Structure 1
Amino acid sequence: MSVHDELTTLQRCLDELTRSVGRLEQRVGPGGLEIRRVRTDAAHLRESVALLREAADAPDAPKRPDLVTISDAPYDLTLWTDSDDEGLGARDRRAP
């Protein structure tokens, strides 16, 4: 199944969820905190799926970030001669 098909299936499920929340809200009443949270969560899911669909439809969007190779060779120790030990303060001073 393609990404487009999966997103379409997900959208249908969200549509059914929205309808179910509406029916439940009619039975329970719209004033409760719990039903408002469920309604808000369903709306957030709808927005997230829309963003996901936009990202999947963008042809020039990178699918994953470029990897950066980090060498296992030790760093040149002279790079650190003028710096303080991070979080420990300067070597010639004492903590309060």
Structure 2
Amino acid sequence: MSVSDELTSIQRCLDDLCRSVGRLEQQMGSGGLDIRRVRADADHLRESVALLREAAAAPAAARRPDLVTIPDTPYDTTLWTDSDDEGLGARGRHAP
């Protein structure tokens, strides 16, 4: 099965689950902690499948970020003339 077919199958199962949870809510009442937790979990699954569907629809090139090449040449030391040496304090200052 393709990814689209799998996602469609999952969506059908989730629709069935949500209908069943709705019927349970009618029978048991929607105020209990357990049924609210089941409803929240079912809603969370629905949102997660929607995110998966969006990710599957995105082109493959858009999923992978571009790599940034970092040169091996040393950095210009003048970039750090106004900074402190880590753990050593500022240049020209002495401990009391």
TM-score, with normalisation over the residues of structure 2? 0.64
CA RMSD of aligned residues (A): 3.1
Do the aligned partners of residues 20 and 93 (structure 1) sit closer, same or farther apart at CA in structure 2, a change above 3 Å counting?
farther
* Structure showing greater Rg: 2
1:38-95 deviation line (CA, Å, top 9, x unaligned)? 2122112212322332343345871322222334x36436143432245x5842387x
More helix by share: 2
**Aligned pair count?**
92
User: Aligned pair 1:40/2:63, yes or no?
Assistant: no
Q: Distance in 2 between matches of 1:15 and 1:93?
A: 70
Do the aligned partners of residues 9 and 89 (structure 1) sit closer, same or farther apart at CA in structure 2, a change above 3 Å counting?
farther
The secondary structure found in structure 1 opposite 2:63 is coil
Q: Distance in 1 between matches of 2:28 and 2:18?
A: 15
Percent identity between the two aligned chains: 70
Do the aligned partners of residues 18 and 80 (structure 1) sit closer, same or farther apart at CA in structure 2, a change above 3 Å counting?
same
TM-score, with normalisation over the residues of structure 1? 0.64
